[in-house]
Chain A
Amino acid sequence: MFPASFGYVAAHSVEEALQLLAQHGEDAKLLAGGHSLIPAMKLRLASPRTLIDLGTVPDLSGVRVDGDALAIGALTVHSDVAGSDLVRQHLPGLAEAASMIGDVQVRNRGTIGGSVAHADPGADFPVILTALNASFVLQSSSGKRTVAVDDFFVDFFATAMTANEVLTEIRIPLPTAGSGTAYAKLGHPASGYVVVSAGALIQRRQSGSCVSARVAIGGLGSGPVRAVATEMELQGKPLTPQIIAAAAAKAAEETDPDGDTYASAEYKRHVAAVYARQAIAAAVERAVG
C-alpha cells in the first residue's frame, strides 16, 4: 500500500513550520513520528497534499524540569518517555502508559505530541495526561498559548488545536509530596489499542486519607473522561481497599460507551471499574512521603 502522492517539506524550526503551514493551508499536515498519519495515508483515509516534517526541527524532543512542571518536547518518542529517569522518578504512571503503547518498534518511532494531536480514542497518552492535569503549549505566528487537558480533547480525532498551530510541548505539574500516579490498561489483544484504561493521580495525607484525586478513563467515549463521581467519592476519605473499590465502582457513571465486536458497552462499563480500582490502588501505593 502506498500513500497517494504528496509534496514533502522538511521544517528546520517551529517558525519555518508555521510559515509552511500558512503557505500550504488546510491541505497540509504536520508529520511527527508518522505512526498514526502514515498508516492512515497508506489506507487512503488521509490524503494531504503536503507533509511538513517536524522530525527535522531540533530541540523538540527531550524531558526537562521547568519550574514546577515536567516539560516534554512534542517529538519525544514513547520509548524515551518510558525510559526517562525524570519521568520514572516523578510520574511513574506516565512511564507506565508510555511503555504499554504498541510494541517496541512503534515506541521507538511514535511521538507523544503526535499521539496527543491525533487524539485517537484508543490512545494511551490522552488518558494518563488527563489524570495528570497536563497542559499543551501551542505555537502559532501570533505567539504561544497553553491549553489545559480538560479543554484539549474535544471529540474523536479532534482537539482544541487550530490548523495554524504547532504543538511544541506537553507540560505536567510535578506532583506534590504524598502524591502517586499510575496507569492500568485493558488493551485489545491484536491491536494493543485501549479497550478500557484508567489513569490516576492521588495525593494522600500521612494519616492515609485522600487530599485530592484525579481519575481519567479511556475507552468510554470520544476521548478520555474524568471519573468525577469516583474523584468525589475518594475526597477526604481514608484510602482503604474498600473505599477505593466503592469509588472505582462509579468510574463509568454518566458515560455511554459504544459496544463493538470485541467489548459490549456493559462489559466496558464493568471493566472501567476494575481498571480504575487498579490504577487508584497503585497510585496510593506510590503516594508515600
Chain B
Amino acid sequence: MSVEAEYAPVPIGVTVNGAKHEAVVEPRTLLVYFLREHLGLTGTHVGCDTSQCGACTIQLNGRAVKSCTILAVQANGGQITTVEGLARDGVFHPVQEGFREKHGLQCGYCTPGMIMTAVALLETNPRPTEDEIRHALEGNLCRCTGYVNIVESIRWAAEKMGGKNVSG
C-alpha cells in the first residue's frame, strides 16, 4: 500500500451549531483545527494545546470536551456546539451576558472555554453553589487571575436563568 493510500483522508459529517457540514479530513486533524480552519469558527481557542487549559472547550453530543484532544474523525456523526452557537436571534445566552455584566474577562483568551464549560454546568446543575462552580471550572485556566469575576458571572447567569435550563 502506498503511503498516500495508507494515510488516506476520511470523509466525515458533523452538525455544528445546527448546521450540517461534510468534509474530508486528514486523520490527524484535531477537532479544534477543523472548527477553526476548515469551518472558520475561530471563537474556539487553542491555548495550551495539551488538554490542560480548557480554552478549546466545546460541547460534543451535549457534553463539555476539550477539542484539542479529540480527532475530527472521532466527532463523525456528532452534534457540536461552539461559542458561536450560543446566542439566539442576536440575543446573548445568559452566561455570555453574565460575563459582560460582571466583567468576567480581562484579555478574553480563556473566555469561550469558560463560557462553554459554564453552559454545560448550568444544563446539568441549574442552581450550583459557589463551590460547585469552582469545581466545575477545574479544567479551565485563566491567567489574568480573573476567577472571582468569572464565578460571579456564572452565578449571575444562574440567577437570570431562574434555576432552569433555558439553553440548548
B64 touches A53 (CB 8 A): no
Assess whether B126 is interfacial by the CB under 8 Å rule. no
A34 touches B74 (CB 8 A): yes
Please tell me which one of the listed residues B30, B64, B70, B71 contacts residue A104 in the complex, with CB atoms under 8 A apart.
B64
User: Using a CB-CB cutoff of 8 Å, which residues 57-75 of chain B contact chain A?
Assistant: 57, 63-66, 69-71, 73-74
When chains A and B are docked, how far (Å) is the Cα of A42 from the Cα of B10?
A: 19
B26 touches A38 (CB 8 A): no
Given contacts A38-B69, A42-B49, contact A7 B54 (CB under 8 A): no
Q: Which residues of A contact B71 (CB under 8 A)?
A: 8, 34, 38, 51
B26 touches A5 (CB 8 A): yes
Q: Which residues of A contact B3 (CB under 8 A)?
A: 5
When chains A and B are docked, how far (Å) is the Cα of A2 from the Cα of B68?
A: 10
Stretch of A105-113, A132-140, A201-209 contacting B (4+ beta carbons < 8 Å): A105-113
Q: Which residues of A contact B85 (CB under 8 A)?
A: none
When chains A and B are docked, how far (Å) is the Cα of A31 from the Cα of B49?
A: 19
- B contact residues, range: 20 to 34
A55 nearest CB neighbor, chain B only: B74
When chains A and B are docked, how far (Å) is the Cα of A121 from the Cα of B1?
A: 37
Assess whether B17 is interfacial by the CB under 8 Å rule. no
Q: Which residues of A contact B144 (CB under 8 A)?
A: none
Q: Which residues of A contact B57 (CB under 8 A)?
A: 105
Kindly supply a per-residue 1/0 record for chain B positions 20-62, scoring 1 wherever the CB is within 8 Å of any chain A CB and 0 otherwise.
0000001110100000000000000000011110100100000
Q: Which residues of B contact A102 (CB under 8 A)?
A: 51, 139
When chains A and B are docked, how far (Å) is the Cα of A8 from the Cα of B10?
A: 8
B7 touches A105 (CB 8 A): no
Kindly supply a per-residue 1/0 record for chain B positions 123-162, scoring 1 wherever the CB is within 8 Å of any chain A CB and 0 otherwise.
0000000000000101110000000000000000000000
How far apart are A154's CB and chain B's nearest CB, in angstroms? 27
Please tell me which one of the listed residues A31, A42, A79, A104 contacts residue B117 in the complex, with CB atoms under 8 A apart.
A104
How far apart are A110's CB and chain B's nearest CB, in angstroms? 9
A104 touches B139 (CB 8 A): yes
A3 touches B64 (CB 8 A): no
A108 touches B49 (CB 8 A): no
Determine the main DSSP class of B at the interface with A. Answer: mixed
When chains A and B are docked, how far (Å) is the Cα of A55 from the Cα of B120?
A: 22
B63 touches A108 (CB 8 A): yes
User: Using a CB-CB cutoff of 8 Å, which residues 110-154 of chain A contact chain B?
Assistant: none
Q: Which residues of B contact A258 (CB under 8 A)?
A: none
Assess whether A243 is interfacial by the CB under 8 Å rule. no
B28 touches A35 (CB 8 A): no
Assess whether B165 is interfacial by the CB under 8 Å rule. no
How far apart are A24's CB and chain B's nearest CB, in angstroms? 10
Q: Which residues of B contact A288 (CB under 8 A)?
A: none
Known A104-B136, A109-B70; further 18 A-B contacts with Cβ < 8 A: A2-B28, A2-B30, A5-B7, A7-B7, A8-B10, A34-B69, A35-B51, A39-B50, A42-B30, A42-B49, A51-B71, A105-B65, A105-B139, A106-B51, A106-B139, A109-B63, A109-B66, A191-B52
> Which chain B residues have a beta carbon within 8 Å of chain A's beta carbons?
3, 6-8, 10, 26-28, 30, 49-52, 54, 57, 63-66, 69-71, 73-74, 76, 117, 120-121, 136, 138-140
21 A-B residue pairings within 8 Å (CB atoms): A1-B49, A2-B28, A5-B7, A6-B7, A8-B27, A34-B74, A38-B71, A39-B50, A41-B28, A49-B6, A50-B6, A51-B27, A56-B76, A103-B138, A104-B64, A104-B117, A105-B51, A105-B117, A106-B51, A109-B70, A190-B52
